[in-house]
């Protein structure tokens, strides 16, 4: 194989595909990037057997073939080369030379034929989103996926299409995040549980804006994202996702409108009183258009008072400050509405336009 | 004690003094910042018993006294407060309240009387430098101090004043760095070995430019830096520093003039062939106004060629690429001169204006 490409183009492609190189694996070839120049096109591929990424690379093929090169070393070599044409050539014993101006690297590659090909995904079911929207919705929900292995489905996010709306849901045992995205067209109903790792790598790759579309294809076992010159294919998580609908009540006994930054900064300060792993709640005392906040621990005590608008009953309720904080951070609104039932029931942070709904369970506290 | 200061002023002072808070200590009070408001002035002090920092804080003293507050918690609390006036008050049981607008923190402090006072340093011997110069000279030499404890003196840098020149020297078993600074006035000869940690913390604190002076006072046991509203006092390392002078020969058999960036980038690429802890040399083959560079390892091989200007004999010599790289990074000249004797003798990178002299020992290699 012998190809010549611009250094910056190689670097762009490597920055994309290396997101699918596993940090630990028992199959050494998975630590590689596959260079495929078996036709007149050049593609780079990485594949950790759950997530696979392939991107087209602009360049010249002088001799057709394939080679797999250790991803980190290959990326580092390309990064440290001058901005110029780079030639990559390998012989039938996988000896590989990377040359640029007067610089020559010689390394040992691996057979491209040993590299696992990406699964084929039928393109029967398709939806379309902007890169910006998909990246945003991942950021706004990924923090509340479950890390544990107790329930594998909760380590992913539910992508649920119903008529002309996409709902993206994540939850662990303490809170849930729901984002609603209105779509231009109506689609057949569909559900898929997408692994959290796939989503976090995806959002690192997207650089596009609201004008740059991603086509998303789903089968029973796979989800495929196609954009620019890149395709990303991921296995889906098997199983039934938790049915959240029954918990998302619209009833409330207390409604609070509060300045989001003021609330967030206050809770952020309160976390200083909580050591890693400590479960001290922050106690909100809601009465007479004022929210008093208080946290007490072995470290010390913090009090604060925030002016609010309220409807309904007075209430005293405790929360894990981190769970409130993580939801508040991904909301963009200046003023937010929080709905409470009583001190034992979850609170809901949701907007009137019905674009998000964050639920947080309260914590028992001794007064 | 009760004082009121602006949040930003508190933060500025804490960012300076916390550089002397030890990360590990058997004396809990050293983890604190001492607030001293026993007169109408307010000072903050931290002291790890080797390095001590004290800075004046602008503010109002409503009630005189002292208190020691856990440095990390105190800094975090101040950082997360709004930009406004902050009142710090403590009672005789060291209960401390930090209040800002409607926010109140209550934490437990420690007795300010238990905090070790900074050593008194006689101001008999003084020199003066700009903050910029001192910061630069630390950056240009600190990388080659010795990390080991085999020779304690080499974990510091020699500050040597001779007539109207300051020489700053660091060395380990493989290389040395010397910087020469011409001073406006002539001074009595003096030597001091300043701990590496003191110097690296110092250079983090300096924000000043060429117009902002530091006054430096030295006794047999201490060095004192005075600038702006801050004093920094450090113990000196006892003992005799290695006598480098006899090694700094001006003789050479080969002189090479080379583009620094080109040489540096080439060696940086060569380090990709060297695993952490591996001691593969980069081999320089100097002949006929060309330097060929080559490195071979289990990972692979790299070759490069750089055009040079040379005087004297042809030479083939090997170096640890990291040692060359670290010296090249702190030199500002575009073209540099390197002087060699033979493949067993150190090389010297030095300038004609006599402002620096970097020595690197060669490494044996099998051709």
CB < 8 Å to A301, chain B? 104-107
Distance from the A248 Cα atom to the nearest Cα atom in chain B, whole angstroms: 34
- Closest residue, chain A, to B105 (C-alpha): A302
Best interface-test mutation with A: which of B263, B285, B297, B302 has the largest number of A CBs within 10 A? B302
Taking the CA of residue B289 and the nearest CA in chain A, the distance in Å comes to: 16
pLDDT at B151: 87
Segments in chain B below pLDDT 50: none
Read off the pLDDT of residues B151-175 as tens digits, 9 standing for 90 and up.
899 999 999 999 889 999 999 989 9
Q: Is the pLDDT of residue A319 over 90?
A: yes
ipTM reported for the complex, 2 dp: 0.89
How much is the average pLDDT of A82-111?
97
Using alpha carbons, select from B365, B174, B297, B362 the residue that is nearest to residue A105.
B297
d(CA B261, CA B332): 10
Q: Could you report the per-residue pLDDT of A203-226, keeping only the tens digit for each?
A: 999 987 888 899 999 999 999 999
The per-residue pLDDT for B220 is 95
Is the pLDDT at A301 greater than 90, yes or no?
A: yes
Count other C-beta atoms under 10 Å from residue B19's C-beta.
Answer: 19
Q: What is the pLDDT of residue B277?
A: 80
Structure tokens at A117: 């090909």
Distance of alpha carbon A273 from alpha carbon A299, whole angstroms: 6
With bands split at pLDDT 50, 70 and 90, how would you rate the model's confidence at A39? very high
Is B80 in Cβ contact with A302 (below 8 Å)? no
Between B207 and A138, the more confident residue is A138
User: Which of A16-20, A276-280, B22-26 is predicted most confidently?
Assistant: A16-20
CA distance B9 to chain A (A): 19
Per-residue pLDDT tens over the stretch A171-208? 998 999 999 999 988 899 999 999 999 999 999 999 87
> How high is the pLDDT of residue A271?
95
- Mean residue pLDDT of chain A comes to 95
Least confident of A88-92, A301-305, B243-247: B243-247
b or e along B334-363 (b: 16 or more beta carbons within 10 Å of the residue's beta carbon)?
A: eebbbbbbeeebbbbbbeeeebbbbbbbbb
> How far does the CA of residue A273 sit from the closest CA of chain B (Å)?
9
Residue A276 has pLDDT above 90, yes or no: no
Could B304 and A102 be called an inter-chain contact, meaning their C-beta atoms sit closer than 8 Å? yes
For testing contact with chain B, the best of A93, A101, A300, A325 (most B CBs within 10 A): A300
* pLDDT the model gives residue A279: 83
A273: its two tokens: 């009183």
What pLDDT was estimated at residue A211?
86
Alpha carbon distance A128, A131 (integer Å): 9
**What predicted TM-score, i.e. pTM, was given to this entire model?**
0.92
pLDDT value at residue A278: 83
End-to-end CA distance of chain A: 73
**Residue percentage of chain A with pLDDT more than 90:** 91
What's the number of CA atoms in the CB half-sphere (13 Å) around residue A96?
A: 26
**Confidence (pLDDT) at A150:** 79
Better-predicted residue by pLDDT, A149 or B11: B11
The answer to whether the CB atoms of B303 and A104 lie below 8 A apart is yes
């Amino acid at each position: 194989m012998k190809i010549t490409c611009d250094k910056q183009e190689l670097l762009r492609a490597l920055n994309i595909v290396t997101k699918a190189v596993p940090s630990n694996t028992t199959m050494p070839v998975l630590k590689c990037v596959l260079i495929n120049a078996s036709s007149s096109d050049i593609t780079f591929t990485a594949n950790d057997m759950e997530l696979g990424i392939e991107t087209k690379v602009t360049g010249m093929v002088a001799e057709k073939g394939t080679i797999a090169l250790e991803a980190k070393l290959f990326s580092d070599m390309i990064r440290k080369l001058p901005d110029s044409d780079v030639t990559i050539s390998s012989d039938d014993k996988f000896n590989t030379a990377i040359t640029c101006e007067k610089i020559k690297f010689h390394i040992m590659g691996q057979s491209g034929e040993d590299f696992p090909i990406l699964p084929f995904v039928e393109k029967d079911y398709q939806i379309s989103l902007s890169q910006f929207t998909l990246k945003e919705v991942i950021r706004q929900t990924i923090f509340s996926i479950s890390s544990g292995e107790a329930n594998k489905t909760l380590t992913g996010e539910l992508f649920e299409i119903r008529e002309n709306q996409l709902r993206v849901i994540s939850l662990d045992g303490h809170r849930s995040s729901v984002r609603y995205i209105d779509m231009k067209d109506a689609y057949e109903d569909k559900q898929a549980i997408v692994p959290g790792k796939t989503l976090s790598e995806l959002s690192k790759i997207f650089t596009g804006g609201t004008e740059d579309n991603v086509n998303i294809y789903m089968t029973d076992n796979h989800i495929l994202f196609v954009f620019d010159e890149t395709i990303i294919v991921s296995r889906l998580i098997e199983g039934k996702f938790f049915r959240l609908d029954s918990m998302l009540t619209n009833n409330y006994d207390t409604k609070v409108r509060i300045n989001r930054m003021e609330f967030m900064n206050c809770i952020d300060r309160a976390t200083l009183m909580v050591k890693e792993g400590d479960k001290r709640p922050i106690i909100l005392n809601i009465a007479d258009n004022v929210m008093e906040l208080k946290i007490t621990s072995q470290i010390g005590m913090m009090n604060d008072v925030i002016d609010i608008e309220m409807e309904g009953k007075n209430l005293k309720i405790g929360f894990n400050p981190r769970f409130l904080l993580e939801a508040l951070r991904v909301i963009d609104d200046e003023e937010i509405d929080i709905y409470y039932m009583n001190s034992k029931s979850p609170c809901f942070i949701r907007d009137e336009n019905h674009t998000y709904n964050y639920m947080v369970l309260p914590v028992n506290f001794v007064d």
